[in-house]
């Protein structure tokens, strides 16, 4: 089946003309897609022959909301989306002073197996299409009644393990044919897939890049991030330097602070040395509760001491504000497996 919602106008035009339909029909179909039409029969200005063809050969990707959880401590909303094939992903809508930000998933589950992340513990099913990523944003917009102005690919999955679809998503969602969200308002996160960081740099897109680091050396990083055994820190840092040099854009390093694991003064000094002279920002994240992980977040005092050491070394660092913790919507808490009573 053909995923027409992942096509741009040129691709949709080619698809229809190659199957014997007039060129102008593509703009009609695209107009209905932008109006969130649910099925091809709803495209009432199309001839019956075209509608029957589309029903037989194509599908309209969706991200239907089947559960909504609203935080009682902030304005965070967590959505459970059902995809066209019955798979589920979660997404999170956050309110900041600059507007609504949507954290979307790029895969159903994840292969990376980071020990502090619930998604990796729930296994992997498949990657999402560009249209399914867009559908998460649009479904959340319709639910909250507001435009979403910022997007982060930090939900379920490793975006660079779904590289082609993610790049298609970025180009499509930022176009006038879709949601027209500017590239500068989109951030892609990766656990450190080195070849893809370099490929991404070569595209010279204007969106942000966030690299999950979580430790300043290979021994510590490999304990929590199995991907480090394939792409060790030296290679990740080299690829990150290439990205900065190629794009002249600041890179963000994500760092989950885990009590007694990676939050000591000595570790902070080692991290400062690793990042010395780097055009970067360090986003410190007090680790969130994940069933079975047994990790505890660093104390407020330890968090501040870590920030102070990095700042004294000239490294820009802040502690991320925790949002949606009462609904398991914080970093690392999204999961793939759900009990029957959940949906």
Q: How far is Cα 23 from Cα 17, in angstroms, rounded to an integer?
A: 6
Say if strands 148-153 and 124-127 run parallel, antiparallel, or are unpaired. Answer: unpaired
Tokens at residue 82, please? 């059902």
Q: Is there a contact between 137 and 172 (Cβ–Cβ < 8 Å)?
A: no
Q: What is the DSSP string of 318-343?
A: EEPPP-SGGGT-STT---S---GGG-
User: How many CB atoms within 10 Å of residue 54?
Assistant: 24
90 has catalytic annotation: yes
Q: How far apart are CA 200 and CA 195, in angstroms?
A: 9
Q: Which residue of the set 62, 90, 103, 191 is catalytic? A: 90
Q: Which two tokens stand for residue 290?
A: 């994940």
> 295 CB contacts (<8 Å, ≥6 apart)?
115, 116, 258, 259, 261, 287, 289
CA distance 4 to 197: 28
Q: From the candidates 62, 103, 114, 331, give the one annotated as an active-site residue.
A: 331
Which residues are part of the catalytic machinery?
90, 331
């Amino acid at each position: 089946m053909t995923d027409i919602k992942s096509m741009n106008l040129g691709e949709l035009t080619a698809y229809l003309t190659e199957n014997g339909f007039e060129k102008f029909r593509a703009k009609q179909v695209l107009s209905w897609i932008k109006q969130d039409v649910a099925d091809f029969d709803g495209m009432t200005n199309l001839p019956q022959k075209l509608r029957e063809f589309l029903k037989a050969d194509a599908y309209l990707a969706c991200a239907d909301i089947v559960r909504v959880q609203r935080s009682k401590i902030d304005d965070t909303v967590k959505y459970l989306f059902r995809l066209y094939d019955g798979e589920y992903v979660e997404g999170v809508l956050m309110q900041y002073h600059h507007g609504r930000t949507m954290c979307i998933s790029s895969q159903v589950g994840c292969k990376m197996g980071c020990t502090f992340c619930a998604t990796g513990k729930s296994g992997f099913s498949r990657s999402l299409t560009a249209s399914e990523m867009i559908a998460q944003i649009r479904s959340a917009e319709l639910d909250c009644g507001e435009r979403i102005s910022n997007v982060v690919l930090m939900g379920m999955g490793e975006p660079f393990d779904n590289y082609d679809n993610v790049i298609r998503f970025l180009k499509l969602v930022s176009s006038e044919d879709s949601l027209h969200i500017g590239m500068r308002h989109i951030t892609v996160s990766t656990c450190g897939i080195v070849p893809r960081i370099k490929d991404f740099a070569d595209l010279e897109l204007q969106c942000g890049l966030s690299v999950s680091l979580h430790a300043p050396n290979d021994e510590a990083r490999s304990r929590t991030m199995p991907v480090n055994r394939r792409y060790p820190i030296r290679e990740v840092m080299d690829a990150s330097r290439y990205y900065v040099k190629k794009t002249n854009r600041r890179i963000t390093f994500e760092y989950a602070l885990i009590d007694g694991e990676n939050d000591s003064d000595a570790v902070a000094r080692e991290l400062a040395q690793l990042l010395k002279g780097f055009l970067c920002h360090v986003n410190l994240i007090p680790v969130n509760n994940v069933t079975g992980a047994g990790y505890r977040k660093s104390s407020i005092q330890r968090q501040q001491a870590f920030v102070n050491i990095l700042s004294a070394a000239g490294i820009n660092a802040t502690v991320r504000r925790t949002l949606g913790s009462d609904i398991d919507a914080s970093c690392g808490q999204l999961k793939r497996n759900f009990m029957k009573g959940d949906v």
